[in-house]
Amino acid sequence: MITLYTDATPNGRRVSIMLEEVGLSYQVRKISLDKGEHRYPDYLKINPAGQIPTIMDTDVDDSGVLILTQTAAILIYLAEKTGRLICKPSLDRARMWEWLALDATDISSTRFNAFLLSLRIGDSMKEGVELLRERAMVFYRLMDARLTETQYLAGNEISIADISAYPWAASMEHPQMQSFENLQRWMKVMGRRPAVQRGMTIPE
């Protein structure tokens, strides 16, 4: 059984969508960021960085229990555990890793840093928030260009690159987003998937 420790954030929903897509049994433990539960001693024993999401998998060969943090690592682990959402053709797989890395190291971090600055907003912070938002739009422009060539980010089959990218893209509020026709098409396709719809509501 897998236990998912999470909250209603784009990072958390990347893993809940993944779990819904691959069909593994799991239970949810909500860790309220607003209440500071990610800093509680019991949770820090599981994830010393005090971040969400985290998974605990008790169905691990010879190892007993696996506790795993870092969203991209969790997505890769679940994909390899189930053989799902990993591209088989080598070139598509290379693109899958490329887009997963871009989302994990550039898009998500840029969006998250903008969010952190916005929490401490003041005249000195507004320019920094806007710079980060515009930086994120550079990446979404690249994504839109990629999606002129393929149905999904890695190729013509859905992969963990799409699962990783969708919750952050769906939450992006910026006037330019509507002008990215291919990105909008991809978001509609992703948003119609039943597993994505379920994952986007977890935790309630």
Residue 204 in domain: no
**Residues 59 and 114 both lie in one domain:** no
Closest to 173 in 3D by CA, of 195, 140, 126, 151: 140
> Domain span at residue 18?
2-84
Closest to 100 in 3D by CA, of 168, 48, 57, 161: 161
pLDDT on residue 55? 98
Q: What is the pLDDT of residues 57-72, one digit of tens each?
A: 998 877 789 999 999 9
Q: With 70 as the cut, is the pLDDT of residue 116 above it?
A: no
How does strand 54-60 pair with strand 2-6?
Answer: antiparallel
Residue 160 is part of a domain; what is its CATH number? 1.20.1050.10
Please provide the DSSP assignment of 56-110 as one string.
EEEEETTTEEEEEESHHHHHHHHHHHHT-S---SHHHHHHHHHHHHHIIIIIHHH
pLDDT on residue 111? 62
Q: What is the pLDDT of residues 173-193, one digit of tens each?
A: 888 889 999 999 999 999 999
pLDDT on residue 171? 87
Q: What type of residue sits at position 131? A: L
Residue 74 is part of a domain; what is its CATH number? 3.40.30.10
- Tokens 């690592």 correspond to 73
Q: What is the pLDDT of residues 72-107, one digit of tens each?
A: 999 999 999 999 999 999 999 999 999 999 988 877
**Residues 70 and 107 both lie in one domain:** no
* Residue 3 C-beta-side C-alpha neighbours within 13 Å: 11
- Mean per-residue pLDDT, 34-46: 96
Share of residues in the chain with pLDDT > 70 (%): 89
Domain count for the chain: 2
